[in-house]
Amino acid sequence: MKDIPEFRSEEEERQFWSEHDSTEFVDWSKSRRGAFPNLKPSTKTISLRLPESMLEELKLLANKNDVPYQSLVKVFLSERIEWELQKHEPQNIKS
């Protein structure tokens, strides 16, 4: 195995790994799956323009489900993104 070089910045490391195969540096047969139960994904604030009627309907639905409306929007988006990704995956055909 080759030694992983010391990097001066994330950008330098990113560039290195975009040009090198990690199997030359890491014995992946010895790897173990990691679990990070308390890791929270980083978030980014965005501005989203919605028709007022749609926003009011979202707030009504959120109130019925006893959740903040922004949390409900995230659930709706997450479900739709997952659905779209699955829709575009190649189908596993068994012979």
Tell me the C-alpha distance between 72 and 66, whole Å.
10
Tens of pLDDT, residue by residue, the chain (95 residues): 999 999 999 999 999 999 999 999 999 999 999 888 888 888 899 999 999 999 999 999 999 999 999 999 999 999 999 999 998 877 656 55
Give the residue extent of every domain in the chain.
Answer: 45-95
**Residue 65 dihedral angles phi and psi, to the nearest 5°:** -95, 0
Residue 52 in tokens: 């007022």
